[in-house]
């Protein structure tokens, strides 16, 4: 344990010095599900926390094939050229199932990876479902602790993980692309609504005009749906990640969006709301896990869930049955 | 207790006979937060469950002033004329705070209330936050137990409660109205996305053309957002609840939507998913309440939440602190 604590101190120091290898090691630690690693990871995050929170956190989300990696490669270099440092974290929930890692591959952001002031973290492979947000939150904190002033979270369009990603960042950029015919790739309801900025990619070659038309259509559509009373309209931009056109303009829009949120006080609110959600989510998960670890609970729960799903036991009664039976047992 | 059980048996029998007074009494029981009433309510719901589930469950949601009550009054009479029976449940989360009951007022659906084959339940006044979904689920079950083959849930547009309502019903109808200028009343993002049918009301008098234009705009906008792969387009209809035009067509659309969902197997899936969500939500709430009832937990939790929100304690560590400290205490 004394050794482990020295490890945490060393990791924290290495992080503070901005050592990318130490940052990679630290992220591996927060991704681990081993209980002893979890404890160290929490100490490390706690040690880093006073230095964290100062970065601009951006999510880039979109369906496979819309050009997220190409965009981040170009956007990252633009940001670095402007004097910032950038850490890219890829979140791919599908890799939890396959154990593979298709996103965040360094070779897909090769030009950004070649710059000194960048850090690219491939998607974590494996891990528990629902742990994505926690690990990503902790990884963002570590990147900030390592001195990165821009953190980009790349997520692939699979519903829940994107909604989670939106709560982790300051600006959620939804990247879409003109598809075959009138279709738009990546415009899924439920995801559009959390977007702070919509970017239409592939505004190049023969698709350029269609991308511009799509941007107008999206803008009109979003205009119908008020986010909240007095909320500003969601900016919709077009760009070509491939030709690197519109990329500086996207960054300007991102910065303006954060600036406006800061001016309204919405930025600080969003951050503290996320911390609270993080805490509550963790607490709920921990309590449920501990409770499920009690003898027999898992089996009984599974049995009752089957009965409830089939409609043969009322949900409220199932809860009472489960809780009452447990009260008769040693914890 | 023996008396109480006889009460449940009597209520269940009265319900089975379709007695509206017994139904009103039964709903009052499920709305009660007294522990002894809860137990009886659960027994009653359990007793009724075998007869429940056969109704067509429809939510009508929209901002205040879009004409929900007028529509339900007209729609209800159309449904009754077609040989069905209808129960209307109003859900108004704001009445939890004020203790008042502004929705579901019988006088606002006076013509429907005057028909024999209808039952109208004003909004429950008071109660715990988060209990709306549970009470509404149980009330739907009771209405079905009382033989109503159509249950309409009226909800006012306040975010979370509408998303909850969507999970309770077979068809979620979002009612909007042309507002002043180009605005649409009731088109809030996050709510539009759960709509199975969008109805534009007030297609009458000088607003008729604007309502038709709004329907086209909404239809185009929704066309951009694919609900899921292979999902069908959300129907958008126009109507005048006041002049009772378009109301039969709305009902035809609702029935077609359910028919299509049944044909795809989506209807049964939605129902069993809702039962499971009901169970899990109840279980989580019960466990959290029991846990919070332990001495000192509430205070400690509130203190840690403040620290987490302020960013001075890492969320993961706050969870560990809370849980570890509790382990040292008697339950």
Distance CA A170, CA A258 (A): 7
Distance CA A241, CA A244 (A): 5
Phi (first) and psi of residue A51, to 5 degrees: -90, -5
- Are residues B65 and B16 located together in one domain of the fold? no
Interval B174-197 mean pLDDT: 75
Range of the domain at A30: 1-51
Q: Which pLDDT value is given to residue A255?
A: 97
First-residue to last-residue Cα distance in chain B: 29
pLDDT at B329 over 60: no
A287–B contact, CB cutoff 8 A:
yes
Q: Are strands A184-185 and A171-178 parallel, antiparallel or unpaired?
A: antiparallel
Collect all residues of chain A within an 8 Å Cβ-Cβ radius of residue B319: 279, 282-283, 286
A82–B contact, CB cutoff 8 A:
no
Residue A330's CB: how many other CB atoms inside 10 A?
6
Phi (first) and psi of residue B180, to 5 degrees: -70, 140
The verdict on residue A39 lying in a domain is: yes
The shortest C-alpha distance from B232 to chain A (Å) reads 13
- Are residues B108 and B210 located together in one domain of the fold? yes
The shortest C-alpha distance from A291 to chain B (Å) reads 9
Collect all residues of chain A within an 8 Å Cβ-Cβ radius of residue B271: 311
Final residue belonging to a domain, choices B213, B245, B263 = B263
Contact B287 A286 (CB under 8 A): no
Q: Which pLDDT value is given to residue A201?
A: 95
Q: Best residue in A316, A318, A330 to probe B by mutation, most B CBs within 10 Å?
A: A316
**Mean pLDDT for each 10-residue chunk of chain A (331 residues)?**
74 87 91 85 88 92 87 96 94 47 57 90 55 80 95 77 79 86 65 86 91 88 64 88 96 96 91 87 81 81 91 85 71 42
Q: Which residue of B has its CA nearest to A54?
A: B311
B323 neighbors A286 (Cβ within 8 angstroms):
yes
The verdict on residue A133 lying in a domain is: yes
Phi (first) and psi of residue B115, to 5 degrees: -85, 150
Phi (first) and psi of residue A208, to 5 degrees: -55, -50
Collect all residues of chain A within an 8 Å Cβ-Cβ radius of residue B304: 279
Distance CA B79, CA B171 (A): 15
Phi (first) and psi of residue A61, to 5 degrees: -125, 155
Contact B189 A188 (CB under 8 A): no
Residue B116's CB: how many other CB atoms inside 10 A?
7
B292–A contact, CB cutoff 8 A:
no
Distance CA B230, CA B260 (A): 13
Contact A282 B331 (CB under 8 A): no
Higher pLDDT residue, B277 or B153? B153
- Are residues A103 and A239 located together in one domain of the fold? yes
The verdict on residue A70 lying in a domain is: yes
- Are residues A21 and A166 located together in one domain of the fold? no
User: How distant, in Å, are the alpha carbons of A73, A74, A239, B84 from that of A110?
Assistant: 7, 10, 20, 65
What DSSP letter does each residue of B303-324 carry, written as one string?
A: HHHHHHHHTSS-HHHHHHHHHH
A159–B contact, CB cutoff 8 A:
no
- Are residues B219 and B251 located together in one domain of the fold? yes
Contact B192 A225 (CB under 8 A): yes
The shortest C-alpha distance from A317 to chain B (Å) reads 6
Report the CATH number that the domain containing residue B238 is assigned in CATH. Answer: 3.40.50.300
Q: For the segment B3-46, what is each residue's pLDDT rounded down to a tens digit?
A: 777 788 888 888 888 888 999 999 999 888 888 888 888 889 98
Number of domains present in the structure of chain A: 2
Higher pLDDT residue, A77 or B300? A77
Output the six-digit token pair for A47: 């040690």
Collect all residues of chain B within an 8 Å Cβ-Cβ radius of residue A310: 272
Handedness of CA A208, A211, A217, A220 (dihedral sign): negative
Q: Which pLDDT value is given to residue A181?
A: 60
A315 neighbors B275 (Cβ within 8 angstroms):
yes
Q: List B residues 188-217 in contact with A (Cβ-Cβ < 8 A).
A: 188-190, 192-193, 217
Closest CA to B63 of B28, B31, B92: B92
The verdict on residue A275 lying in a domain is: no
pLDDT at B2 over 50: yes
Contact B316 A49 (CB under 8 A): no
- Residues sharing a CB contact under 8 Å with residue A193, sequence separation 6 or more, in sequence order: A225, A227, B189, B190, B193
Name the residue among B225, B271, B313 with its Cβ closest to that of A192: B225
DSSP conformation class of A226: B
DSSP conformation class of A102: -
DSSP conformation class of B106: G
In the structure, what pLDDT confidence band is assigned to residue B169 with cuts at 50, 70 and 90? very high
Final residue belonging to a domain, choices A11, A29, A51 = A51
The verdict on residue B202 lying in a domain is: yes
- Are residues B56 and B37 located together in one domain of the fold? no
The shortest C-alpha distance from A228 to chain B (Å) reads 7
Q: Are strands A86-91 and A150-156 parallel, antiparallel or unpaired?
A: parallel
Q: Best residue in B230, B290, B319 to probe A by mutation, most A CBs within 10 Å?
A: B319
B242–A contact, CB cutoff 8 A:
no
| Strand partners of residue B226 | A188
B160–A contact, CB cutoff 8 A:
no
Collect all residues of chain A within an 8 Å Cβ-Cβ radius of residue B316: 38, 41-42, 45, 134, 138, 278, 282
Map tokens 């659960």 to a residue: B42
- Are residues B142 and B166 located together in one domain of the fold? yes
Q: Best residue in A137, A189, A303, A312 to probe B by mutation, most B CBs within 10 Å?
A: A189
- Are residues B226 and B242 located together in one domain of the fold? yes
Contact A319 B282 (CB under 8 A): yes
The shortest C-alpha distance from B274 to chain A (Å) reads 8
Is B266 exposed, middle or buried, given 0-12, 13-18 or 19+ CB atoms closer than 10 A? middle
Contact B311 A278 (CB under 8 A): no
Contact B221 A226 (CB under 8 A): no
- Are residues B113 and B193 located together in one domain of the fold? yes
Handedness of CA B222, B227, B229, B234 (dihedral sign): negative
User: How distant, in Å, are the alpha carbons of A285, A308, A329, B36 from that of A326?
Assistant: 19, 18, 5, 20
Distance CA A110, CA A77 (A): 11
The shortest C-alpha distance from A106 to chain B (Å) reads 30
Lowest mean pLDDT among A245-254, B131-140, B315-324: B131-140
The shortest C-alpha distance from A31 to chain B (Å) reads 13
Question: Chains A, B: CB contacts under 8 A, how many?
Answer: 166
B92 neighbors B98 (Cβ within 8 angstroms):
no
Q: For the segment B37-92, what is each residue's pLDDT rounded down to a tens digit?
A: 888 888 899 889 888 889 999 999 888 888 999 999 999 999 999 999 999 998 76
**Average pLDDT score over chain B:** 82
The shortest C-alpha distance from B279 to chain A (Å) reads 4
B267–A contact, CB cutoff 8 A:
no
Report the CATH number that the domain containing residue A32 is assigned in CATH. Answer: 1.20.5.170
Q: Which pLDDT value is given to residue B229?
A: 44
Q: Which pLDDT value is given to residue A226?
A: 59
Residue B269's CB: how many other CB atoms inside 10 A?
11
pLDDT over 70 percentage in chain B: 82
Distance CA A173, CA A198 (A): 6
In the structure, what pLDDT confidence band is assigned to residue B100 with cuts at 50, 70 and 90? very low
User: How distant, in Å, are the alpha carbons of A147, A178, A185, A220, A224 from that of A181?
Assistant: 45, 8, 11, 19, 24
Q: Are strands B171-178 and B184-185 parallel, antiparallel or unpaired?
A: antiparallel
Strands (DSSP E) along chain B, which ranges? 56-62, 86-91, 118-121, 150-156, 171-178, 184-185, 197-200, 236-238
Over B168-213, what HEC string results? HCCEEEEEEEECCCCCEECCECCCHHHCCEEEECCCCHHHHHHHHH
The shortest C-alpha distance from B109 to chain A (Å) reads 29
| Alpha-carbon B305 to chain mean position | 31
The verdict on residue A88 lying in a domain is: yes
The verdict on residue A30 lying in a domain is: yes
B105 neighbors B125 (Cβ within 8 angstroms):
no
Q: Which pLDDT value is given to residue A51?
A: 86
A255–B contact, CB cutoff 8 A:
no
Final residue belonging to a domain, choices A263, A298, A322 = A263
- Are residues B43 and B68 located together in one domain of the fold? no
Closest CA to B268 of B194, B170, B195: B170
Collect all residues of chain B within an 8 Å Cβ-Cβ radius of residue A228: 188
Task: State the greatest distance between any 2 C-alpha atoms of chain B, in Å, as a whole number.
Answer: 71
- Are residues B39 and B69 located together in one domain of the fold? no
- Are residues A29 and A121 located together in one domain of the fold? no
B329–A contact, CB cutoff 8 A:
no
User: How distant, in Å, are the alpha carbons of B106, B150, B201 from that of B246?
Assistant: 23, 19, 9
The verdict on residue A7 lying in a domain is: yes
B86 neighbors B148 (Cβ within 8 angstroms):
yes
Distance CA A186, CA A202 (A): 13
Q: For the segment B232-287, what is each residue's pLDDT rounded down to a tens digit?
A: 788 999 999 999 999 999 999 999 999 999 999 999 988 888 888 888 888 887 88
Contact B305 A53 (CB under 8 A): no
Interface predicted TM-score (ipTM): 0.70
Distance CA A88, CA A119 (A): 6
Q: If residue B258 lies in a helix (H) or strand (E), which one and from where to where? A: helix B247-264
B276–A contact, CB cutoff 8 A:
yes
Q: List A residues 41-80 in contact with B (Cβ-Cβ < 8 A).
A: 41-43, 45-46, 49, 53
């Amino acid at each position: 344990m004394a050794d482990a604590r020295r490890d945490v101190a060393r990791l924290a120091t290495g992080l503070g010095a901005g050592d990318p290898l130490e940052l990679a090691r630290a992220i591996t630690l927060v991704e681990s599900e081993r209980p002893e690693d979890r404890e160290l990871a929490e100490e490390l995050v706690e040690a880093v926390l006073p230095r964290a929170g100062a970065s601009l956190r951006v999510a880039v989300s979109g369906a496979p094939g819309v050009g997220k990696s190409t965009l981040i490669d170009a956007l990252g270099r633009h940001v670095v050229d402007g004097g910032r440092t950038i850490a890219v974290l890829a979140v791919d929930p599908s890799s939890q199932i396959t154990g593979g890692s298709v996103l965040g591959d360094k070779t897909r952001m090769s030009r950004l990876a070649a710059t000194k002031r960048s850090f690219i973290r491939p998607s974590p492979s494996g891990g528990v479902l629902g742990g994505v947000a926690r690990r990503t939150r902790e990884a963002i904190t570590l990147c900030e602790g390592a001195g990165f002033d821009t953190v980009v979270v790349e997520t692939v369009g699979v519903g829940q993980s994107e909604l989670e990603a939106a709560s982790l960042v300051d600006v959620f950029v939804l990247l879409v692309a003109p598809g075959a015919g009138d279709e738009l790739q990546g415009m899924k309801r439920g995801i559009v609504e959390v977007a702070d900025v919509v970017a239409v990619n592939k505004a190049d070659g023969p698709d350029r005009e269609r991308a511009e038309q799509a941007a107008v259509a999206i803008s009109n559509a979003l205009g119908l749906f008020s986010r909240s009373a007095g909320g500003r309209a969601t900016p919709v931009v077009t760009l070509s990640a491939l030709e690197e056109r519109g990329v500086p303009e996207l960054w300007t829009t991102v910065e303006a969006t954060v600036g406006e949120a800061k001016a309204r006080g919405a930025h600080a609110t969003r951050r503290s709301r996320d911390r609270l959600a993080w805490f509550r989510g963790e607490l709920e998960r921990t309590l449920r896990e501990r409770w499920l670890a009690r003898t027999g609970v898992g089996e009984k729960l599974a049995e009752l869930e089957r009965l409830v799903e089939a409609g043969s036991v009322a949900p409220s009664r199932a809860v009472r049955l489960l809780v009452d039976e447990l009260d008769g047992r040693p914890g």
